[in-house]
Structure 1
Amino acid sequence: MGLLTNRVERSEINPGDHIYTYRAVFTYSHHGIFVGGSKVVHFRPERNLDSSTEPSSDLYDPISPRSTCPTFPDCGFRQPNSGVVLSCLDCFLRNGSLYCFEYGVTPSVFLAKVRGGTCTTAMPDPPETVIHRAMYLLQNGFGNYDIFQNNCEDFALYCKTGLLIMEKQGVGRSGQASSVIGAPLAALLSSPLKLLMPSPVGVATVTAGMYCMSRYATDIGVRSDVIKVAVEDLAVSLGWAEHHNEAAQENEALSRQLVTL
């Protein structure tokens, strides 16, 4: 891996690595945790899990039915109503290149990476802890998919670090989502400077600087609103347990009504 690209060969990745690949001609990237044995645990929207089509502009990255994998019978395994999926490496990459997400980078390296969703200043946990989180979430889910607050990169970042953002509003852990929001914001904030800077180069430089700083400010390695949460307590921390309890109570009440009828 280098400053310009995080591309790696399959022989270079190890169990517990956070990997990703680009979709739709580098429009966006899809992230997951390599758990060994040519298997990847990753997160995607529930509504597209059974889709066999793949529009090139689909940011939700639908997965083909698991019966289409000729190599691994369990490729595509997931629990009902869960977006966490176990796939083989071939199906995860879909003929795309393999990249490895970097952890513990210095601020200068982070800022030098023009594209978000490739690295973080946060330090990773040991591989066995990372794999435990990924496999636990495969069995128990990771909540509802949200392209800005709870996406595939958020899933992989949590598995690697165990960090959660306490503030539920705003952008999640994903550097990719931060880049999508940060670029227009930087352009908007720098637009008044056009009146003070006659040179387009000067405006472009200021805009680029604001963009990089907005990315850095939202990185989980420097944010002050993150906490370490055990994977077993994740449902309670994010409020999933409350929703499950409410649904169970509603079902129980409905059953009682049917019995009385």
Structure 2
Amino acid sequence: MQGKRIDREELKPGDHIYSWREAHIYAHHGIYVGEGMVINFTTGGQESGPGTFWDRFFRGSSSTRSAANPCPKCGGQSRLRGVISSCLDCFLMGGDLYRFEYGVSAAFFMAARPGTCTLASSDPPEDVLHRARYLLQNGFGVYNVFKNNCEDFAIYCKTCLVVSKNIGVGRSGQASSYLLAATFAAGGIFGYGMYCVSRLASDIGVRRDVVKVPVESLASHQG
């Protein structure tokens, strides 16, 4: 299940949206804020770290436009690193539009593709929009494939949840699933069973190493 595909007319401000990249291998996530604009966390199409395979694999690009041909709606924002405001067309890059689902059941979560839903509940849209706009002005820290990526950004905006321990992975279901799959790949049926249990336990909606941190205090908490 690739997720909940929607039409643009169904979008509401505060929605956590995403679009699949590279033949549906990974997805780029953001928060729709209305008037055709999306706030998202990106590496500007470049590597997010020292040039490792995973950095290139999960690059948080939001557009392929060049400096000589900027988007008439969002300008040169799409080439920047960090938290940016992109128009919906630049965010999608020609891909389909999907909405990330919150408050799903455990059964639904396990049947869905990683990085498309969570058991965690979403906060009201006005809180989500406040966090996204605040982070657009103040940043979301350093991009990290496994601990601080575009999905982590969108989930934080929706839930205000932060992983309290500097171990493992962040809130991203997609990143944690890849790590868990690699860990249990050689275990056959037993390994697959452990993967399923671990995947559910690592979801932001059930894991116990998370705390609510107001967006105004996020920078000091990360530091």
Provide the TM-score with structure 2 as the length reference: 0.88
1:243-254 equivalences in 2 (<5 Å)? none
1:178 to 148, 166, 176: 176
Q: Deviations over 1:22-69 (max 9, x none)?
A: 1111111000000000000000126839xxxxxxx6531434347634
SS at match of 2:129: helix
The 8 Å contact of residues 45 and 144 in structure 1, kept in 2 or not, is answered as no
Q: Is residue 2:19 matched to residue 1:40?
A: no
Aligned to 2:53: none
Residue 6 of structure 2 aligns to which amino acid in structure 1? V
Residue 31 of structure 1 aligns to which amino acid in structure 2? H
Identity across matched positions, percent? 51
Q: Is residue 2:206 matched to residue 1:231?
A: no
Distance 1:211 1:125 in 2: 29
1:220 to 200, 204, 222: 204
Q: Is residue 2:95 matched to residue 1:96?
A: yes
Residue 185 of structure 2 aligns to which amino acid in structure 1? A
The 8 Å contact of residues 104 and 123 in structure 1, kept in 2 or not, is answered as yes
Aligned to 1:198: none
Aligned to 2:77: 76
Distance 1:42 1:58 in 2: 18
Q: Is residue 2:155 matched to residue 1:157?
A: yes
Q: Which structure shows the higher helix fraction?
A: 1
Change (3 A) 1:178 1:235: same
Instruction: Identify which of structures 1 and 2 has the higher relative contact order when contacts are C-alpha pairs closer than 8 Å and 6+ apart.
Output: 2
How many residue pairs get aligned? The number is 213
SS at match of 1:118: coil
Residue 68 of structure 1 aligns to which amino acid in structure 2? N
Give the gaps of 5 or more residues in structure 2: 48-55
Distance 1:135 1:217 in 2: 31
Provide the TM-score with structure 1 as the length reference: 0.75
Residue 167 of structure 2 aligns to which amino acid in structure 1? Q
Which of structures 1 and 2 has the bigger CA Rg? 1
Aligned to 1:199: none
CA RMSD after TM alignment: 2.2
Q: Is residue 2:191 matched to residue 1:207?
A: yes
